Amino acid sequence: MNTATHISWADLARIKKAAKAAQTLPDLSYMQRLDALAASEFGVRHFHELQKRHEQKVAAHVEMRGGAHFCRYCDFTFSDFDKADRKQHTDLHHCFEEAESVMGFHPLGYKERESLKRAGHEQLMSEHGVTRRQGALQVILAHYDRSLMRAIEGNRWARHPYFLEYLPGALAVSTIWNADVLQSLVREFGERPGVIAKGDTDWPSDVTRQSRSDAGKLESMTMRQGLIAAWKASALLPVG
């Protein structure tokens, strides 16, 4: 039995799908099957209780900011009092949850991306090649996360690549001024012109990612985690 207190939208969707399948518990109605599955999987009395738990989980991300509601998870400002706004946020929140469960991570929000980019640009001024390489990758990762965030907002994240596939496309149009860093990154990761438009950093909506292997996913995630860990460690250092 899964006793997790956090119920994701995917958990609810999965139980609904199972309850719809007529072969499971055929003597019960759909609602009864929902309750029975919720009870056996999560130890709750009713499916409704799971829905409530999920709503609480979503609400835990929402705070008041400047007179409006702000979801830290979606990086989204809205009015929870307005029915249409509330629905827009719920749909978006589900989309983010789904993307995270499939892709294995959640893109950084605006403020975090800006901080990551700043740290990257600082490192690009280092005299050490290894540090400059890391800085360049951090800047590109900040662009990557924004690109993915927009893809999630547009509900087309399933076509968006992992970081390692994004990199050659981004390097082909990069405006990073350190020619030596750029050249060595191109040697390391390759270059793919004509995907990302010049002057842009977003993965185009009409281009589907190529790599579907777990290797690309895992390597990208390891790299992403390393770059973020290095940024967080540098952000903790005293300024000056």
Which residue's CB is nearer to Zn ion, number 73 or number 105?
73
Q: Using N-to-C axis directions, what is the helix angle for 47-59 and 30-42, rounded to 10°?
A: 60
Q: Compute the distance between CA of residue 189 and CA of residue 177 in angstroms, rounded to an integer.
A: 18
Q: List the structure tokens of 137.
A: 């990758």
The nearer residue to Zn ion, 71 or 164, going by C-beta atoms, is 71
Tell me the β-bridge partners of 64: 69
User: Where does this chain touch Zn ion (CB under 5 A) — which range of 15-23, 28-36, 92-100, 165-173?
Assistant: 92-100
Q: Are 18 and 37 in contact (CB under 8 A)?
A: yes
For Zn ion, the binding residue among 37, 38, 71, 103 (CB under 5 A) is 71
Does residue 95 touch Zn ion according to CB under 5 A? Answer: no
Total Cβ atoms within 10 A of residue 156: 15
Residue 40 Cα distances to 1, 32, 239, angstroms: 7, 12, 53
**Closest separation in Å from C-beta 86 to Zn ion:** 11
The region of 80-88, 90-98, 110-118, 128-136 touching Zn ion under the rule CB under 5 A is 90-98
User: 3-state class of 18 per DSSP?
Assistant: helix
Q: Enumerate residues 6+ apart whose C-beta is below 8 A from 224.
A: 105, 141, 163
CB of 13 to Zn ion, least distance (A): 17
Which of 74, 149 has the CB closer to Zn ion?
A: 74
Contact between 54 and Zn ion by CB under 5 A: the answer reads: no
Task: Examine residue 70 and tell whether it contacts Zn ion (CB under 5 A).
Answer: no
**Region from 15-23, 63-71, 148-156, 168-176 binding Zn ion, contact rule CB under 5 A:** 63-71
- Options 73, 79, 109, 182; binder of Zn ion; rule CB under 5 A: 73
Minimum CB separation from Zn ion for residue 89, in Å?
6
90/211 with CB nearer Zn ion: 90
Residues in the chain: 240
Q: If binding is defined by CB under 5 A, does position 93 make contact with Zn ion?
A: yes
Distance in Å, CB of 114 to Zn ion, minimum: 20
How many angstroms separate the CA atoms of 26 and 56, rounded? 32
3-class DSSP state of 104:
coil
Q: What angle do CA 88, 90, 94 make, to 5 degrees?
A: 120
In the complex, least distance from residue 90 CB atom to Zn ion, rounded to whole angstroms:
8
Q: Taking the complex as a whole, how short is the minimal distance between the CB of residue 153 and Zn ion, in angstroms? A: 11
Binding residues for Zn ion (CB under 5 A): 71, 73-74, 93
